[in-house]
Amino acid sequence: MHEMSVAQSIVQIVEEVLQEQKAHRVLKVVVRIGELVAVVPESLQFCYRAITEGTELGDSELVIQTVPVRAVCQACGREFSPETPFFICPFCESTRVHLLQGQELQVSELEVEE
């Protein structure tokens, strides 16, 4: 379960931002997680709650935004959402495919109380 290490990283990032902004309370943490990162949202929520319980982040809401996989074919130039784990262009069947999104793992927004 790598969700625990992901949750720990999220908490570390949020704590650093809290110190920089001299904020006292986090209300909401929004994270963007690509489908290819293979994080189970329910497990991440559980781990986040376990780590933050009894801390300054204990009352914060974790919002997970799933980013779908998108790719572009370098042969025909068309964008598509891969349907299989093999990235083959559905239009020209080329394997020269470049991922545009779906590998993200980032804290994208914090709502804090000053």
Report d(CA 58, CA 56) in Å as an integer: 6
Q: Classify domain 3-67+102-113 at the CATH topology level.
A: hypothetical protein PF0899 fold (3.30.2320)
The predicted pLDDT at position 111 comes to 95
Q: What is the pLDDT of residues 67-102, one digit of tens each?
A: 999 999 999 999 999 987 789 999 999 999 999 999
**Is residue 66 within 8 Å of 37, Cβ to Cβ?**
no
Q: Is the pLDDT of residue 104 over 70?
A: yes
- Ordered by start, the domain boundaries in the chain are 3-67+102-113
Q: What is the pLDDT of residues 43-73, one digit of tens each?
A: 999 999 999 999 989 999 999 999 999 999 9
The predicted pLDDT at position 1 comes to 60
